[in-house]
Amino acid sequence: MEKVEYKSLNRLKNHQRKFNFFTVIFTIVAGLFTWISTLLSNVLMIESGMLVFTTALTILGVNLTLDLTVKSNTNSWIYVQSSLRTVSKETCEHKPSMLQGRLAKFFKKKWAHFLIIFPSFVVFYIVMVVGIIGYQGLDPAGISLVNFASDISWFLWFPLLWALTWIANGRTWCQTCPFSGQAEWLHRGHPWKKGRKIGLNLRWPMKYSTILYSAIGFSILTWVEEFYNIGGPGVPELTSVVLIYIATLELFVTLIFQDRTFCRTMCPLSAPLALTTMISPLGTFRVKDQEKCKTCTTKECMKGNQENYGCPWFASPGSRETAPMCGLASDCYKACPHDNIDWNVKKFPWLGDLNVGRKRFDLGLSVLILLGVVLFQFVNAIPAYTIIDQWLNHFTGWTYFSKAFTPGLSKYGYSNDGYPNPVDYTFINAIPVMIVYAISRMQKKVPFKLAFTSLSYSLVPIFASTILARNLPKLLGGALLIMNEISNPAGTGVNRGIYSTFWGGVLHSLGSDPVNATAEWWVLPLMELVIVFGVFLGMRASRGLSDTDGLDKRAYYSLVLGFGITFMVITYWMSSPASPNLPFYNPLIGNVLYNPLQAQPPF
């Protein structure tokens, strides 16, 4: 592993300065590219420019904020020391480990990881190509129901990503991720054989080693997604551009920085998946016997050896504290000469990795930012939001800009007068941060930083459950359409009547109405159930966190219940039929009270 050598403090600072300098250049170039694209009225160029520009701006913004607020030259600001906790046995009694029998043998094979990545690699390349060459038209509700690219991404993959929280763990996606997979193959020069790593192998500056980029990146990517209605699922070529952007950016970053720096620090999904991994039933790679590691001097799990690489994620399996950063690459398992690595299954309620001694302020902040994103996704389905948003767009003149950013999309049936307005988007994003900030300021017994982090940690299950709930209508109301598209991925000529196709008919008979972007009524109780489960886990987490960190239980409970009930009520309102003919109709909310059998959960 190459290293940036710092001989004096100036060197250390110069590394940061150099990094910022190149980020500024990159930002300016991306900004110019976006501007020129706007002049050229090429929507694909504008979108990719916007994605790159916002990414660079996020990095620059976080760096500058850190430079202004943090005096030290390390990232010690992310570290929150919590009190001790005796670690009880936290593995499942029935199936303590994943690595038994055939699976254990499989993961010892060098090509195992390649084999796991390859199918999704193929699928996502098909998606990228089909998204660009396939049928682009949208139906009257503004969504695309015939193109494989957008449908598999947003009907199946995205909801499944959040369902993974309780099916396996969030990072199982990272295990199969084709983008990081191909970047790693390039970086290592071979899909599975050990060779010389190519690229500059720079270290991400220490002061800026945080996961905040990822959380803010997710928030901004969600904004772009909403703006172009990419995840609607909208115009398929826009989905392709997002995927190509992620793939290219990762290839670019892997040639500059060490191993999986992109995955760990920059990938927009890193922070959310790190959080969901903390509460999933399936654990991450972890050592069996800590004592063996204390005497181990070779540390092959981290450094690698002649045959195998070390952990590319910089997350040694040695401690619970690094569990959220384990990308399940299984390199440590192959490399360990003592066969001391295990992939454990957690014990219900699977909160063992959440309440650790070494908490992270930046992870806490990420929970709140991401919860803000989910809150936005809920609120935007309420009529009142649309009214405010439209007023703001006209008031601030954002409509004018939005027209400039979306040239040529109207021919596919896309229309947008500025939704979502950056002002209200930012405000809704910041609501959880503001609430938790206020509550932790009120805590007198515990230092602010610990109170803030601990309270945020109790909201991890709420985040995981609400984001899953919000994506359930798409999964249950539309995913079956993909079956149609397997034989005709480009979707040419099918859009005449989706309900006349076989799987469209099946969906319709189930009660789903994808043409109007609503799912079956029974998705509503399912969504509520998922949120109730999240609240339950949140309460369990609160109890543990309160015991270790010394905060009043009521502070946690009020947060968890407050957010939980808010989300449940919004879920109920946003699924309302919004019909003036039904009683309790309110133009701002829809039907305040209605029979759940008439519910129409929106995509």
Site for other proteins in 491-550 (CB under 8 A): none
Figure out which of the listed residues 110, 194, 288, 299 binds other proteins, where binding follows CB under 8 A.
299
Q: Please say which residue, 9 or 438, places its beta carbon nearer to other proteins.
A: 9
φ/ψ region of 233 (left if φ > 0, alpha if ψ in -120 to 50, else beta) reads beta
Report d(CA 567, CA 553) in Å as an integer: 21
**Which residues make Cβ contacts (< 8 Å) with residue 341, sequence separation at least 6?**
99, 285, 286, 287, 288, 301, 317, 332, 333
Among candidates 582, 491, 541, which has minimal Cα distance to 235?
491
- Which residues are bridge partners to 79 per DSSP? 360
Q: Are 317 and 311 in contact (CB under 8 A)?
A: yes
538: which 2 tokens?
A: 């949140």
d(CA 550, CA 531): 27
Chain positions 12 to 31 lying near other proteins, rule: CB under 8 A, are 12
Write the interaction track for other proteins spanning residues 302-331; mark x where CB under 8 A is met and - where it is not.
Answer: xx------x---xxx-xxxxx---------
# residues near other proteins by CB under 8 A: 39
Helix/strand number for the chain, H first, E second: 25, 6
Site membership for other proteins, residue 185 (CB under 8 A): no
Tokens of 571: 């879920």
Q: Cα separations (Å) of 203 from 4, 66, 183, 246, 260? A: 6, 18, 17, 21, 11
Which listed residue (14, 16, 209, 586) binds other proteins by CB under 8 A? 209
| From 37, 54, 210, 591, residue interacting with other proteins (rule: CB under 8 A) | 210
Q: Quick check: 213 binds other proteins (CB under 8 A)?
A: no
**Min separation Cβ 469 and other proteins, Å:** 31
Q: How far is the CB of 74 from other proteins (least distance, A)?
A: 4
Which residue, 94 or 294, is less far from other proteins as judged by CB? 294
Say how far residue 487 (Cα) sits from the centre of its chain: 30
**Triad 248, 253, 257: Cα angle to 5°:** 165
Residue 217 tokens, joined: 């990146």
Between 227 and 333, CB nearer to other proteins: 333
Among 76, 410, 492, 516, binds other proteins (CB under 8 A): 76
CA proximity to 570, closest of 601, 548, 549? 601
CB atoms within 10 A of CB 509: 9
Alpha-carbon span 317 to 301, nearest angstrom: 8
Shortest Cβ distance from residue 15 to other proteins (Å)? 9
Closest to 213 in 3D by CA, of 175, 269, 173, 252: 269
- Residue number with CB closer to other proteins (358 or 553): 358
Question: Which of 66, 129, 206, 515 touches other proteins by CB under 8 A?
Answer: 206
Q: Which one-letter amino acid corresponds to residue 406?
A: T
Q: 282-287 and 341-345 as β-strands: parallel, antiparallel, unpaired?
A: antiparallel
45 binds other proteins (CB under 8 A): no
Query: How far apart (Å, rounded) are the C-alpha atoms in residues 494 and 497?
Result: 7
Stretch that binds other proteins, among 146-154, 201-209, 408-416, 487-495 (CB under 8 A): 201-209
Q: Is 345 helix (H, G, I), strand (E, B) or coil?
A: strand
Considering only 41, 65, 81, 516, the residue that binds other proteins (CB under 8 A) is 81
Build a one-symbol-per-residue string for 258-297: x at contacts with other proteins by CB under 8 A, - elsewhere.
-----------------------------------xx--x
Cβ distance to other proteins smaller for residue 360 or 470: 360
What is the closest distance, in whole angstroms, from the C-beta atom of residue 360 to other proteins in the complex?
Answer: 8
Residue among 68, 84, 438, 597 that touches other proteins (CB under 8 A): 84
Choose between 353 and 485: whose C-beta lies nearer to other proteins: 353
Tell which positions 350-389 bind other proteins, by CB under 8 A: 357-358, 360
The residue (of 319 and 390) whose beta carbon lies closer to other proteins is: 319
Considering only the stretches 59-67, 208-216, 503-511, 520-528, report the one whose residues sit in contact with other proteins under the rule CB under 8 A.
208-216
Q: Does 74 bind other proteins (CB under 8 A)?
A: yes
CB of 11 to other proteins, least distance (A): 8
Question: Where does this chain touch other proteins (CB under 8 A) — which range of 2-10, 176-184, 368-376, 429-437?
Answer: 2-10
Q: Quick one: which of 155, 216, 141 has its CA closest to 425?
A: 216
- Specify whether the CB–CB gap between 371 and 464 falls below 8 A: no
Of 500, 566, 110, the closest CA to residue 306 belongs to: 110
Q: How far is the CB of 370 from other proteins (least distance, A)?
A: 18
Length of the chain: 603
- Residue 3 makes contact with other proteins by CB under 8 A: yes
Nearer to other proteins, 317 or 473 (CB): 317
Contact residues for other proteins, defined by CB under 8 A:
1, 3, 6-9, 11-12, 73-76, 78-79, 81, 84, 203, 206, 209-211, 293-294, 297, 299, 302-303, 310, 314-316, 318-322, 357-358, 360
